[in-house]
Amino acid sequence: MPGRVKTRLTPPHSPQEAAQLAEAALRDTLRTVARTPARRRVLVLDGSPGQWLPDGFEVVPQCRGGLDERIASAFAQCDGPALLIGMDTPQITAGLLAPATGPHAWDECDAWFGPAMDGGFWALGLARPRPALVRGVPMSTDRTGEVQRQRLVDAGLTVRDLPALRDVDTAADAAQIAVHCSGDFAAVHANLSRAVAP
């Protein structure tokens, strides 16, 4: 919804344009997840799904509270190995997720961690979902990822890492990520860039 998503993209983008980019990122992310092997695909959503939702997803309402509470609640919906990703990395591919979703992903592994270049994280996987491992982690700081990963280690978990990725937070991020995308996000970004070109 304009004004509620990707607010750090405004300016230079309008709230409507930021919402268009957010929807495109979500569509690309869901398509990638739909192509990724999984026993269950869950979309935790604040609001109602639109036509962007592909078949094969179970939609559950997002709980209220801070991001740590919302992530913890998402893990509470799971009863086995679970990989949580957001919609801020539309450049992900099934190949990028493969180490954490393949047949041997959880052999001698308790957790997967995908760091984000802004200091957060774009992916978090737990062989046995434990919401308490996320609650209380300070979110949206340049140390969020470091604190979250250390919490996993301090809990005695064997942690494997996925590649570091850039999140769509600012207009500069969006421009850099669009170069590495081939889906809706790149197309919407190109259209918006053409609209403001001199």
CA dist 187 and 150 (Å) reads 38
> Shortest CA distance to 70 belongs to which of 94, 44, 96?
44
Helices (H), the chain: 15-34, 67-76, 94-101, 144-154, 171-179, 184-196
Supply 62's token pair.
Answer: 């997002």
Do the beta carbons of residue 85 and residue 114 sit within 8 Å? Answer: yes
* Predicted local distance difference test score (pLDDT) of residue 87: 94
Whether residue 198 is predicted with pLDDT greater than 80 in this model: the reply is no
- Tell me the C-alpha distance between 55 and 31, whole Å: 10
**Model confidence band, residue 26 (pLDDT cutoffs 50, 70, 90):** very high
With H, G, I as helix, E, B as strand and everything else as coil, classify residue 166: coil
What pLDDT, on the 0 to 100 scale, is given for residue 7? 92
pLDDT for the residue 44 = 96
d(CA 191, CA 151): 42
Residue-wise pLDDT for 76-118, tens only, equals 999 889 999 999 999 999 999 999 999 999 999 999 999 999 9
Q: At residue 2, does pLDDT exceed 80?
A: yes
Structure-derived torsion over alpha carbons of residues 13, 18, 188, 185, reported in degrees to the nearest 10 = 130
- Strand partners of residue 82: 126
- pLDDT band of 1, cuts 50, 70, 90: confident
**pLDDT tops 80 at residue 18:** yes
pLDDT at 196: 59
Kindly state the average pLDDT of the residues 182-196.
89
CA distance 169 to 194: 20
Mean pLDDT of the chain: 94
Reported as a single tens digit per residue, the pLDDT across 139-176 is 999 999 999 999 999 999 999 999 999 999 999 999 99
Domain 7-196 has CATH 1.10.10.10: no
Contact 62, 44 (CB under 8 A): yes
Q: What is the pTM of this model?
A: 0.93
pLDDT at position 116, please? 97
Tokens 């957060």 belong to: 120
Task: Find the mean pLDDT for residues 130-146.
Answer: 96
Domain positions in the chain are 7-196
Q: Are 137 and 68 in contact (CB under 8 A)?
A: yes
Q: What are the structure tokens assigned to 114, written together?
A: 């995908």
At 182 the pLDDT is: 86
